[in-house]
A and B are shown apart, each in its own frame.
Chain A
């Protein structure tokens, strides 16, 4: 099986830059969580050329609040992705953003044991060299 995932210099998997993902990744690079918003259906994630509700293409990119809450989470104790083993224990979480959509991310900036469903979090950013990840930490 061919693994086509791009990797950072430290060996971490990178989000692949495509014409569709670039505005999101550029936002992250500049410390902004950006979301697409359809004039009829509201915000959606992940980035797509067509709104997943109405398949319209008249959406706009907007800066999101960066605030959300933990919808669910797990703690990877073994490093199911071997390239992430130096991050263990790794909190893999679903974040429900204030604007509505959910995204996959990591909760950082607190003890693993303190993470709870429903806890308030805000976006923070991790520079991986050529790309930047959008992570979340407990709201200050």
Chain B
């Protein structure tokens, strides 16, 4: 069952860094990422005939064209994906779909996070996370009806979701905090994690500064610099890859709004329709999945995703989380790389880290945090303000 036409065969991932020590432009990062991912896959650059990326700050328009030129790659499929944090996961299925319909054979998915070389820490921070996100253009409803009221960046939006969850379902601060604690326990085993040296407790999370009620500092992702790339190829070429091929057997996507104010129901996220589509395509039941890697910009994002993807009953995510160990060593392995909360968010590549997490486990390359059984994974991406969701079902060959 499910699709078996395209497989993920190689990847590279740079450790997220809070201060970027290797100033380079987006396209320079892409060239380095491409070289590393292709070497990992054991595929020559000449075999690549598809390119997918997000926006490049050094070539914000026509990014794939600029990249094709810069890397001297001729493509039958060129795509720039912009659905926020779900973009990386969205790039993966678009690459696979292009291969499935026979447009091309091998696609490079490139996700650099580096803007132009930052001047200093403060400047770098501003470039990673401008307060007005993408809502500042002329006539943007966000610019007119949200930004003047302080609904900016991501934290207040996810906090609005968390408040509604607490009110509707009685989710407690302790239950949300536990998600960050379990993820940190996995991060401790990931040499690339920003927070690899310091375990935390629920009390630590609740004692960290309140940023936007009810979101504490340790429930928010740490914005970093980074980068990642994945090579997707057809089933035939995948047989010759250096590592175990990982098929994308199902995928789904759903986009419903931009500002949380206009969600039909603020406690129902786009994760549900995306997951239903992905599992239907894969012909797989939720219970067949060995691990999950869920986009985790905030703890509430994980809780809502657990419910809406159908792993936890709706409204029961709080107690469900409290009764389980979500770390790599636990009964429900989730974000075994530490998640973005524990590993850090390498810019746009933060979303790719969940794909890489699943790949690493299924290919048996997770070292100290390797699961005993890791054949099937469910990966999500979340974009904008709980606005877009991509779900990927990954299965080892």
Interface residues of A (CB under 8 A from B): 1-5, 12-16, 18, 20-21, 45-46, 71-78, 80-82, 84, 87, 90, 92-94, 102-106, 117-118, 128, 131, 133
Contact A5:B147 (CB < 8 A) given known A74-B159, A80-B131, A102-B262:
yes
Report B-chain residues with C-beta under 8 Å of the C-beta of A20: 139
Report B-chain residues with C-beta under 8 Å of the C-beta of A15: 143-145, 148
* Nearest 3 interchain pairs by C-beta: A74-B159, A117-B167, A75-B213
The answer to whether B261 touches A94, judged by C-beta atoms less than 8 angstroms apart, is yes
Q: Does B137 contact A (CB under 8 A)?
A: yes
Contact A74:B160 (CB < 8 A) given known A3-B130, A81-B152:
yes
The residue that A78 contacts in the complex, of B139, B211, B261, with Cβ under 8 A, is: B211
Report B-chain residues with C-beta under 8 Å of the C-beta of A76: 150, 155-156, 211-212
Q: Does B151 contact A (CB under 8 A)?
A: yes
A92-B158 Cα distance, complex, nearest whole Å = 12
Give 21 CB contacts A-B under 8 Å: A5-B143, A5-B147, A15-B144, A18-B139, A20-B139, A71-B164, A71-B266, A72-B160, A74-B163, A76-B156, A76-B211, A77-B210, A77-B213, A80-B155, A80-B211, A81-B153, A92-B160, A94-B261, A105-B149, A117-B164, A118-B167
A9-B173 Cα distance, complex, nearest whole Å = 39
Q: Does B146 contact A (CB under 8 A)?
A: yes
The answer to whether A103 touches B145, judged by C-beta atoms less than 8 angstroms apart, is yes
Contact A104:B130 (CB < 8 A) given known A15-B144, A72-B163:
no
The answer to whether A104 touches B149, judged by C-beta atoms less than 8 angstroms apart, is yes
Q: Does B117 contact A (CB under 8 A)?
A: no
Report B-chain residues with C-beta under 8 Å of the C-beta of A3: 130, 132, 136
Closest residue of chain A to B259 (Cβ to Cβ) is A104
How close is B213's CB to chain A, nearest CB, in angstroms? Answer: 4
Report A-chain residues with C-beta under 8 Å of the C-beta of B163: 72-74, 117
Q: Does B209 contact A (CB under 8 A)?
A: yes
The residue that B139 contacts in the complex, of A16, A71, A72, A75, with Cβ under 8 A, is: A16
The residue that A81 contacts in the complex, of B145, B147, B262, with Cβ under 8 A, is: B147
Q: Does B161 contact A (CB under 8 A)?
A: yes
The answer to whether A72 touches B130, judged by C-beta atoms less than 8 angstroms apart, is no
The answer to whether B147 touches A13, judged by C-beta atoms less than 8 angstroms apart, is yes
Report B-chain residues with C-beta under 8 Å of the C-beta of A84: 150
The answer to whether A12 touches B148, judged by C-beta atoms less than 8 angstroms apart, is yes
Report B-chain residues with C-beta under 8 Å of the C-beta of A81: 131-132, 147, 150, 152-153
A106-B147 Cα distance, complex, nearest whole Å = 11
Report A-chain residues with C-beta under 8 Å of the C-beta of B151: 92, 104
The answer to whether A72 touches B150, judged by C-beta atoms less than 8 angstroms apart, is no
Most chain A CB atoms below 10 A, which of B143, B215, B261, B262? B261
Report B-chain residues with C-beta under 8 Å of the C-beta of A1: 127, 130
Number of interchain pairs (Cβ within 8 Å): 124
Interface residues of B (CB under 8 A from A): 127, 130-132, 136-141, 143-153, 155-156, 159-164, 167, 209-215, 259-262, 266
Known: A4-B137, A5-B136, A80-B155. 11 other contacts (CB 8 A): A3-B130, A4-B143, A14-B148, A73-B163, A84-B150, A87-B150, A92-B149, A94-B160, A102-B261, A106-B149, A117-B167
The answer to whether B144 touches A16, judged by C-beta atoms less than 8 angstroms apart, is yes
How close is A107's CB to chain B, nearest CB, in angstroms? Answer: 10
Closest residue of chain A to B166 (Cβ to Cβ) is A117
Contact A92:B148 (CB < 8 A) given known A104-B259, A104-B261:
no
How close is A101's CB to chain B, nearest CB, in angstroms? Answer: 9
Report A-chain residues with C-beta under 8 Å of the C-beta of B140: 16
Report A-chain residues with C-beta under 8 Å of the C-beta of B212: 74-78, 80, 92
How close is A13's CB to chain B, nearest CB, in angstroms? Answer: 5
Contact A92:B150 (CB < 8 A) given known A4-B136, A5-B132, A73-B163:
yes
The answer to whether A103 touches B261, judged by C-beta atoms less than 8 angstroms apart, is yes
Closest residue of chain A to B126 (Cβ to Cβ) is A1
A106-B160 Cα distance, complex, nearest whole Å = 13
Report B-chain residues with C-beta under 8 Å of the C-beta of A14: 148
Closest residue of chain A to B217 (Cβ to Cβ) is A78
The answer to whether B147 touches A77, judged by C-beta atoms less than 8 angstroms apart, is no
The answer to whether A80 touches B152, judged by C-beta atoms less than 8 angstroms apart, is yes
The answer to whether B138 touches A16, judged by C-beta atoms less than 8 angstroms apart, is yes
Report B-chain residues with C-beta under 8 Å of the C-beta of A94: 160, 260-261, 266
Contact A13:B148 (CB < 8 A) given known A78-B211, A92-B160:
yes
How close is A69's CB to chain B, nearest CB, in angstroms? Answer: 12
A65-B150 Cα distance, complex, nearest whole Å = 24
Closest residue of chain B to A82 (Cβ to Cβ) is B131
How close is B265's CB to chain A, nearest CB, in angstroms? Answer: 10
A110-B296 Cα distance, complex, nearest whole Å = 34
A7-B160 Cα distance, complex, nearest whole Å = 25
Report B-chain residues with C-beta under 8 Å of the C-beta of A128: 148
The answer to whether B209 touches A72, judged by C-beta atoms less than 8 angstroms apart, is no
